[in-house]
Structure 1
């Protein structure tokens, strides 16, 4: 299967972000991709009022996203925010950090399980956690969905592999800081090895590469990559916005699992 990784910089404007998505999806489809993956917070960058942009799955943002997927004949995966139905410490409604997949096989959503309460940032103040792993199917290939901080928890990735995933997406808005790029690369490679899956690690580009100033919110560092089940990067981006396109062969997953059956050999 041919896949595309859309490393972009989201702004505070959901409609402008959809314009970017459509541009990337058009170019990816023209190059034969059937799956186009975008980062966490594609709808709206962190550091903005998320409760004011959050919409249900039948709202106008996802409706247009579905239209984009239909227009170009692809499955699109992107990070959005949906209403959480709870109040945070500031009295505002919390949101659900959601990864939505829309395409020929229908509409599916994943709610981020592990919230980023780390490095002085408390995602749980504004976000309601999910509790269910999610797998979609694209062209007969099973694909697990995860978001950002999830990548630090190998159990989720092995659970997705147990349930049949051959490819796992991690969409992220990875926070900048000392050692953070190295951690992103190491963690994504490790999760591919833990699960013996292809890993599509799609992060927000570094906003400073487009002239946007650095923020305290986790906005992105770039370095998206498609990683094979042996932990090797097939293709990788730098910090700037970029569209990566590559081919995945599910037969490689089966071959690696015969060679090093870490899922079958687990004792804990």
Structure 2
């Protein structure tokens, strides 16, 4: 059995949630991200969370035409603004696929408050559902890659992306790696029951893992918006509508530990999560 979690270094970790409307204009998107950093800095945030595909998006599908390398303009901007403001950032982007694969990769990058690129998560579960075929344009990340977990302000954040939210084992694997906060950048497609699924699944992942959930969606045509922050007991502390907006919340690490003491379901579990295929 693992050692008991230690209290966070401060009473709360401040998170800025940026529900942006993203277009296929990469320059305009970078300007919007710069504005979100400015808002986060004014709010004295520790970390800024941007949605999936924050570098460039087309509701008809995102592929190689939107891909930028890790040393390209988007990630360079993230690193520059993080270094200037001291605000860490978790952001969805699109990377070139490896080798001769003509597709791209749906990814989330993690940059710390000094501007260092500290991790990349390549989306494992591609959105081949509800009439969509994301795998035609995107290559999946390896299921056995180490989970992306990063420490900010004494709390450990674990990263998954959009459709991953429908797979509880993805969230549990992050929690097994130490995550106390599950971060879900998304461009959750709109449609019948989709907003209800988004909200319900975010709350479920919080309750079953006794973890906070920061689910950040895109605003605009073809996507749901409705970003939300859920406490580890399932209480929704922040919920947005469909419009672009940027809000800041505090995550209480001590309250998270109290929930895990009262509901020790992680300690009581009888099954492990391992990659397959």
The TM-score with structure 2 as length reference comes to 0.88
* Contact residue 62 and residue 137 of structure 2 kept, 8 A: no
What SS class does the counterpart of residue 223 from structure 2 fall into? coil
In the alignment, does 2:137 pair up with 1:126? yes
For residue 55 of structure 2, the aligned residue among 39, 43, 47 is 43
Q: In the TM superposition, what whole-angstrom CA distance separates every residue of 1:73-93 from its partner, at most 9, and x where no partner exists?
A: 1011111011113667xxxx1
Quote the offset at 1:103 in angstroms.
Answer: 2.3
In the alignment, does 2:113 pair up with 1:104? yes
Quote the offset at 1:115 in angstroms.
Answer: 0.7
Quote the offset at 1:169 in angstroms.
Answer: 0.2
Corresponding residue for residue 73 of structure 2: 60
Quote the offset at 1:48 in angstroms.
Answer: 5.4
Q: Give the Cα separation in 2 of the matches to 1:16 and 1:29.
A: 20
Quote the offset at 1:193 in angstroms.
Answer: 0.9
Quote the offset at 1:124 in angstroms.
Answer: 0.8
In the alignment of these two chains, the number of paired residues is 253
Larger strand proportion, structure 1 or 2? 1
In the alignment, does 2:86 pair up with 1:73? yes
Q: Give the Cα separation in 1 of the matches to 2:49 and 2:150.
A: 13
Q: Give the Cα separation in 2 of the matches to 1:87 and 1:238.
A: 41
Q: Give the Cα separation in 1 of the matches to 2:184 and 2:45.
A: 18
**Where in structure 2 are there 5+ consecutive unaligned residues?**
1-12, 272-277
The 5 Å alignment of 1:1-268 reads: 1-46=13-58, 47=60, 50-85=63-98, 93-104=102-113, 106-107=116-117, 108-130=119-141, 131=143, 132=145, 133-205=147-219, 207=220, 214=221, 219-268=222-271
Q: Give the Cα separation in 2 of the matches to 1:153 and 1:73.
A: 33
Q: Give the Cα separation in 2 of the matches to 1:127 and 1:158.
A: 24
**Where in structure 1 are there 5+ consecutive unaligned residues?**
208-213
What SS class does the counterpart of residue 52 from structure 1 fall into? helix
Spell out structure 1 runs of 4+ moving beyond 2 A: 46-50, 85-88, 103-106
Quote the offset at 1:66 in angstroms.
Answer: 0.8
What SS class does the counterpart of residue 79 from structure 1 fall into? strand
The TM-score with structure 1 as length reference comes to 0.90
